[in-house]
Structure 1
Amino acid sequence: MRDFDWKILMTLYNTKNITRTANLMFITQPTLTRRLQQLELELDTTLLIRGSKGIVFTPNGEYVVQKAAEILRALDEIKDHIEQSEHGSRGTLKIGVPNSFMHFVIPALVEKFSEKFPQIKLELHTDLSSQLIKSLEAHELHACFARGNINTPLKKHLLSEDQITIISHRPITLEDLPNLPQIEYAKEETVVNATAKWWNENFDTPPNIKLKVNSGEACLQMIKHKLGYGIFSDIKYFDPKDGLFSLPLTFKDGSKFTRKSWLVYNENALHYPLISNFVTSVLESY
């Protein structure tokens, strides 16, 4: 089997559609069909079944697709290793990025890095920090940015520590909060727990959650429409030009309620110039 065959199987597994797969692979549908038939002959098994609702892979087909993913990943690693040996000036970097970093931090970092290494390609994967750490530990990423209190054996550099802040469309005080509608957005579990601790330290009643949204940006838009206040783990969401108001949070003992930002990577990977160049570039920016 050729590399192209593994890519055909992976693409078909993802699309479950012969016509779409043929288009994505830039081949004709009859050519694709013949190649699939040849693969089944070579392996002496049925890989997939065509039904009224599309393509269904057999158990053997599922197994072959799983191995195809492993083979393609191994081939990518081989190519990356060879490219990285060329002084780290070519290749592809897979970087994990939390949503807030993608919005506020990454554009400037990527601009600076790309100016210095124009032939390095960057694949940016967004997710919650906890999931990005898991992907990095599984060697699915070369490095990642993460927020909050993270537990990992990997190398981590502290980039910044931001104070948790309330943003509202009008001035408010802490005493107002239990009676005001709150807009909640998806955050790391560690931040959710820390926020709950802060809230319970200050109030006897739970917050009045009016809306739940999936991102800080969505939460900010709701605030601009006077639908409530939000608790943000990144002060960069606050821009005085928006006509909004901020309230930095502290604990009862006077300490700031903060959240840390990290650059995380496998220290053993620094012998690859490609990864080393990226880490150095980020740390220089901070």
Structure 2
Amino acid sequence: MDDRDWLILQLLYQEKNITKAAKLLYISQPALTNRLQQMEKEFGVQIVNRGRRGIHFTPQGEYLAKSADKMIAHLQHIKDHVLNMGDKLTGTLRLGVSNFFTDYKLPGLLRLFKDKYPDVEFKVTTGWSSDVVNLLHHQDVHIAFVKGDYNWRNEKRLIFEETVCIASKTPIELNDLPRLPRIDYHQDRFLKTAVDHWWSENFNQPPSVSIHVDKADTCKKMVENGLGYAMLPHMLVEDVEGLHVIPMQNEDGTALLRKTWMYFHEESLEIKIVKAFIEFIEEIDLHDIH
């Protein structure tokens, strides 16, 4: 069994379909089937049963598939530490990054780090912050960049704060908000909770949501076209000319802030590439990254 075999088992267990797993692995279906047969021969057990509706794992096959996560993580751990033994900073840095941070900060950030350490490669997995935190829990990534205050009990650094604001194509008064068309988008739960709390502090009637979209960028374009107002992180609208922006404030007069955190495991600092990247993040000002 090599690391490719464990990856085959992992994806096959996730997809329960040989054709889909083969496509994800960029190999032919016959090649995957052949590797599966070789694994069955090696262990002397049947790993899957094939049926009309796909494949079903046998008890032995399910045990092997569930072991795949641990084996892949162990092999990656070995590779990290072998590369760590050399003097040269090299290897692949595995990052889990929230969608919003990926769009607005990550490309410039990685470019600057690559300029400093040209032999470093990146493997980036993007998604909602809650999914990214799960990746870090399972040690599928070295470092996670997340929006919001998740219950992370290991190492973390607050790397960025931005004001949440009300953006509109035309000037508006706060008192008029309940009567104006609002554009909402799918927010992470921390931002949604903060915005909902702000609304309940200021109004005793619900907002008039006229459009609901899935992404913040789409929401911004709707605002730019004068279709309504939206509550958006300032980073999203700071480069848009002609928008009227009102920073949101809590009841005590403080700014309504959205925080970006960098999470990681303390033991990851023993890996040179991870330590160098964390130190790099701590030294720069993310507000200057575009």
* TM-score relative to the length of structure 1: 0.87
Which whole-Å CA distance do the structure 2 matches of 1:25 and 1:252 have between them? Answer: 54
Which whole-Å CA distance do the structure 2 matches of 1:178 and 1:235 have between them? Answer: 21
Which whole-Å CA distance do the structure 1 matches of 2:198 and 2:29 have between them? Answer: 60
Which whole-Å CA distance do the structure 1 matches of 2:240 and 2:200 have between them? Answer: 32
Letter in 2 for 1:141: V
Letter in 1 for 2:207: P
Cα drift, residue 27 of structure 1: 6.4
Letter in 2 for 1:273: K
Say whether the 8 Å CA contact 1:249–1:257 is kept in structure 2: yes
Say which SS state the counterpart of residue 183 (structure 1) adopts: strand
Q: What's 2:130 paired with?
A: 130
Tell me, yes or no, if structure 1 residue 75 matches structure 2 residue 75.
Answer: yes
Say which SS state the counterpart of residue 146 (structure 1) adopts: strand
Q: What's 1:17 paired with?
A: 18
Report the count of equivalent residues.
284
Q: What's 1:281 paired with?
A: 280
Q: What's 2:193 paired with?
A: 193
User: What do the CA deviations read for 1:63-118 (whole angstroms, capped 9, x no partner)?
Assistant: 21121232122111111111123246111111121222111111111000111122
What RMSD over aligned residues (CA atoms) do the two structures have, in Å?
2.5
User: What do the CA deviations read for 1:124-143 (whole angstroms, capped 9, x no partner)?
Assistant: 22233333233323322211
Tell me, yes or no, if structure 1 residue 147 matches structure 2 residue 147.
Answer: yes
Q: What's 1:243 paired with?
A: 242
| CA 1:266–1:60: 2 relative to 1, 3 Å | same
Identity of aligned residues (%): 33
Letter in 2 for 1:281: F
Which whole-Å CA distance do the structure 1 matches of 2:18 and 2:205 have between them? Answer: 53
Letter in 2 for 1:117: Y
Q: What's 2:288 paired with?
A: none
| CA 1:179–1:80: 2 relative to 1, 3 Å | same
Equivalent runs, 1:191-270 vs 2, <5 Å: 191-232=191-232, 234-239=233-238, 241-270=240-269
Say whether the 8 Å CA contact 1:99–1:215 is kept in structure 2: no
Letter in 1 for 2:101: F
Which whole-Å CA distance do the structure 1 matches of 2:133 and 2:33 have between them? Answer: 40
Letter in 1 for 2:167: I
Say whether the 8 Å CA contact 1:87–1:273 is kept in structure 2: no
| CA 1:148–1:2: 2 relative to 1, 3 Å | closer
Q: What's 2:101 paired with?
A: 101
Cα drift, residue 154 of structure 1: 2.0
* TM-score relative to the length of structure 2: 0.86
Cα drift, residue 19 of structure 1: 8.8
Which whole-Å CA distance do the structure 1 matches of 2:169 and 2:4 have between them? Answer: 55
Cα drift, residue 231 of structure 1: 0.7
Q: Which moved more, 1:240-249 or 1:199-208?
A: 240-249
Which whole-Å CA distance do the structure 2 matches of 1:6 and 1:241 have between them? Answer: 48
Q: Structure 2 unaligned segments of length 5 or more: list them.
A: 286-290
Which whole-Å CA distance do the structure 2 matches of 1:60 and 1:195 have between them? Answer: 49
Say whether the 8 Å CA contact 1:91–1:120 is kept in structure 2: yes
Which whole-Å CA distance do the structure 2 matches of 1:35 and 1:130 have between them? Answer: 35
Say whether the 8 Å CA contact 2:80–2:271 is kept in structure 1: no
Q: What's 2:118 paired with?
A: 118
Q: Structure 1 unaligned segments of length 5 or more: list them.
A: none
Say whether the 8 Å CA contact 1:181–1:208 is kept in structure 2: yes
Say whether the 8 Å CA contact 2:186–2:215 is kept in structure 1: yes
Which whole-Å CA distance do the structure 2 matches of 1:215 and 1:19 have between them? Answer: 27
